Structure 1
């Protein structure tokens, strides 16, 4: 029998007459890593805030670890790394982390928290002097200070360099390996693809898709054709070609999205489109995400 870390039952949140979250139901199994994806304004942060008990749903119910998110007994067992990291003036990095450790009954050791956040060398620095990326890592140390059973990560790697990101995700994977439940939001879809064992897509406050990364990617058969376009090729010209669903430009390098690249490449050649260095790629999570979001807009 499955044990649920999070249970959302038909939750709705209304702001000034508009539904930020609209009848969302979702259960998250203990020990799973779930990526909550969606475009800006889709309702991801509002959903996480309701799960954490920071805001109340207009209707519906939220259970976190079987209880009320606002209960102290529940809060002691969770950790959250939100987008905004606030630091306390006149405290060093080590003092800041140690302060948060003392909020919990069984905190992780200070040295371990400094190590997993990559802040050992900054331990004596004033927290307020850290760079943006370092402050994100400090936020992570504070979030995991109590060795939480459920960890929420809202856009966690924004501002981090490549090395810091690798350390961060290695730590998250290790926590998941110890049975911790991880819920994350991110705009870096390749990270979600590599780390999460479940992808939940929210659009306009509603559930748009739910499944493993492989299942989500299988929802679209979209592929892309990328090539260097000649000087005669224009954006309007490309959109006139049957089968082109979207076009992205990077200098003269263009990527065309299509559900039938075989037909599209034939059309490009037949029409004499000036192109070279052609690449055809299968759709990934980004293409599936794009397709899900655009399909939801078309259905409205």
Structure 2
């Protein structure tokens, strides 16, 4: 299968490209490996597998996408990479909305469009859900990240209206050693400086990197899946539980805590989302027959 990917140099994209090209078949029944992967880049192509796109200018080289049966859209500015100034919040929004709109419109214009468009999204869609179990039937929350996620998903309408099966991968916190939230946690805990964030009662909806990649492949292959699908492990855990597991797996003390006021000073507005609680359940992924390799937090941390 010929598959196009945006964000191919990021944490998820790099691993997805490797997985698709490596060979083998996912346990969930996803497409086997050995696929022809096309990487969309925002510069002049420097390799045979690269295709040019310019999200801000709304330009995509659709000729380079000819023959693609699937497109997986993962590009977007990191939510936690910088302090949330007004300018960076605009960058977070634009990188998602403009990119999705450009790609969806380009795919819709093709004489032979791909059969599936898997577009990245996030469980930030739901906002702070406290200890309430939340699945794909739940409404959007309020605040900056929910507003971004709503606009992000709405930007894919040209693809949906063109009859392309469109799936929104609402991703949780990916447990990985080399990036994302856990990429920052591991070094701190290895030094014995890890601990709760705030009072530790907030729920974290996690997923291991390996399960996330397998889930994306499952979305590509599952013809009956459309619309939002939560990519999280079956049972979210509290930050307090995460802290305890990190200490056990890494054999380090977890006596340190970061009080909420300190987080607010250090992170600004983003602290509200770090301290917020999201108990998100992957109802549609489970119902579609997906089987996890690392359903529990301890297994996900050990795998990372």
TM-score for both structures, normalised by structure 1: 0.30
Q: Which has the higher helix share?
A: 2
Q: Which has the higher strand share?
A: 1
State which structure, 1 or 2, has the greater radius of gyration over its C-alpha atoms.
Answer: 1
